[in-house]
Amino acid sequence: VGCGFDKGLLAAHYDGETTHGEGVEVERHVGSCPECARDLAAMKDLSAAIKPLGRGAAPMSIAEGVLREIGAREPARRPWGLSAAAAVLICGVTFVVMYQRRAPERSMVAAAEKSAADAPKSQYEGFGEEYEEFAAKPSPPPAEAPAAPGARAAKMEEERSRGARQEKSAVPVIRVSAADVAGARAEVEAFLKVRALKQVPGAPLLGRHSSDRYLQLDLTEGELKDLEMLLAARKETTLVRGSLEAEQKRVAEELAKSKSADGITLGAKKDRADDEKEKDAPAANEPRDLLDKDAEQKEPPRRKVIFVFEPAEPKK
Amino acid sequence: VTSTPVPGDRELLDRARRGDGDAFGLLVVRHQDRIYTAVLRFCGDEEDARDIVQRAFLNAWRRIDSFKGDSAFSTWMYRIAFNESVSFRREGGRKRLVESGSEPADDRRPGDRLDSEENRAKVQDALSRLDPDDRKIIILTEMEEKSYDEIAEILEIPKGTVRSRLFRAREALREKLKIVLKSAEPGSIESRPRGGGI
């Protein structure tokens, strides 16, 4: 025989689902009812017992299978584009999942923290001057990229021939604030592999000590959008798109404040081995092979985009 | 500095309704982890969960026009995925699903506590032996940390039913786990910590 108290109300109070008045009622009752006090403790025990089951990452084969099915069943809707894009997305998912699972092994966060002491006072030092030099140079083509078809090469050349000033103002800066910076960074690297893209080498913004912090890419609008969506889908990750000028202004403000503060914790050098790996890593051939040649020839123009990675502000 | 125009679920859904498989693919990527986790806990088998979730997303794609957008996409997906789980089981699945109600051999004495990771399998097993409706509500509350309103929407039951069913479901699971209660300390009621919703 129970005490007769509404156990649903008790559970609701435990789950934070009661009104203030109901909460007071529960508190008052529990204070004098050992049975309900035990029930509450039991709920707590149960939550603790279930918690270790945790969350899991979905196997990559789920998205692969779905996209394959969609691609196979909807050819009439998008005669060529869907299959090509779906293939790229499938591979994207594959690499993203692989990278996410390997993230702890890579332990970039640990490496970054370890060498944080060697980092300059501000990761933004030299931002302006270096950029002027960078902006005057055309973006070199990816070293291992296949010979660009005529139309694409012409478009790329057209892009590059824009004046430095114009280019400077056109460069979007995407600030990626993430609780798991290394994971976000790994996601971008995975994306680059999938799309057979590379970082723009010699990017002055990356500086000597901030290769983990900045990433400069040559992307089409579509690629940029996809990459933003992948990053935005990550937990505790926010993206803010701004202009280079706005970023410089922000940097200048940070610089002014950085004298007394430690500033940003990330931005340390990556392992040299990692850098070498990155350099030597062959472009992912398979995804390219999956692309329609027609689609490749119609590839839209690319432009420089700068990603800035920073640890998310801790929640208060 | 302006916010990045990252498409939300609604925009992707609109695009998917117009036949954009890429947009739907992004929805899959965005939601598959949480749907997979819920289904995995529901059915207790990784391979089954993978098949069920894949079927659920394909089902959603085929029925995308019927989704009016009154609720969140994730709410709709949980519903489809749970329904798919039940169908999967009805069809026989891979024959690995644990029959609810069947008790495994357990030499644990009533005084023993579950106190380490080695018992995760036992917790999953106990969960799998719960009545399916109880299982869903436990998963959504304890693991997915959904509010009662969201649970009511996903399971299509009144909020009051969520409240009453949840206490009973917890009792049933506790019984299967044979957890011994800690000595209660009246006067200090600690609410279950709840993470952010989706």
The interface pTM score, or ipTM, of the predicted complex is: 0.77
| Alpha-carbon gap, residue B122 to B187, rounded angstroms | 32
Are B31 and A266 a contacting pair, CB within 8 Å?
A: no
Tokens 């309900």, located at residue: A36
Q: Give phi and psi for A84, each to the nearest 5.
A: -65, -50
User: Contact B54/A66, CB-based, under 8 Å?
Assistant: yes
> Can you tell me which residue has the tokens 């979730």?
B53
Give the pLDDT of residue A235. Answer: 76
Q: Looking at residues A243-271, what average pLDDT do you find?
A: 53
User: What distance in Å separates the CA atoms of residue B22 and residue A86, rounded to the nearest whole number?
Assistant: 6
Q: Tens of pLDDT along A66-77?
A: 888 887 343 333
pLDDT of residue B142: 92
In chain B, which residue's Cα lies nearest the Cα of A12?
B163
pLDDT at position B89 is 79
CB contact under 8 A, A69 and B58: yes
- Please state the φ and ψ torsions of residue A304, each to the nearest 5 degrees: -70, 140
Predicted pLDDT of residue B157: 95
Which residues in chain B have Cβ-Cβ distances shorter than 8 Å to A45? 174, 179, 181-182
Partner-chain contact B184 A38, CB within 8 Å:
yes
Backbone φ and ψ for A106, nearest 5 degrees, come out as -70, -35
Strand order of the β-sheet with A303-311 is A214-219, A303-311, A172-178, A237-243, B2-3
- pLDDT level of residue A316 (50, 70, 90 thresholds): very low
Report the residue from B6, B124, B191 with minimal CB separation from A239: B6
Chain A residues with CB under 8 Å of B7 CB are: 225, 229
Cβ-contact B55, B88 below 8 angstroms: yes
Helix axes A221-232, B21-43, angle to 10 degrees: 20
Provide the mean pLDDT of chain B: 79
Name the DSSP letter for residue B100: T
Q: Report d(CA B135, CA A17) in Å as an integer.
A: 20
CB nearest B25 (choices: A63, A96, A246)? A63
* 3-state SS assignment for residue B111: coil
Cβ atoms < 10 Å from Cβ of A34: 12
Q: CA of A240 to nearest chain B CA: how many angstroms apart? A: 5
Report the run of H or E that residue A64 belongs to, with start and end: helix A60-73
Strands A172-178 and A303-311 turn out to be: parallel
d(CA B154, CA B151): 5
Residues of B in contact with A56 (CB under 8 A): 33, 36-37, 40
Q: Is the predicted pLDDT of residue A12 greater than 90, yes or no?
A: yes
Is B167's CB within 8 Å of A82's CB? Answer: no
Contact B41, A52 (CB under 8 A): no
Q: What pLDDT does B194 receive?
A: 57
pLDDT at residue A123 is higher than 70: no
Which residues in chain B have Cβ-Cβ distances shorter than 8 Å to A9? 163
Q: Please tell me the total number of residues recorded for chain B in this structure.
A: 198
Q: Hey, are the CB atoms on A240 and B3 less than 8 Å from each other?
A: yes
Instruction: Give the pLDDT band of residue A290 (cuts 50, 70, 90).
Output: very low
DSSP for A101-120, written as a single string: HHHHHH-HHHHHHHTGGGS-
The whole-angstrom distance between residue B172's C-alpha and the CA centroid of its chain comes to 17
Quote the pLDDT of residue A54: 77
- Per-residue pLDDT averaged across A132-141, rounded? 39
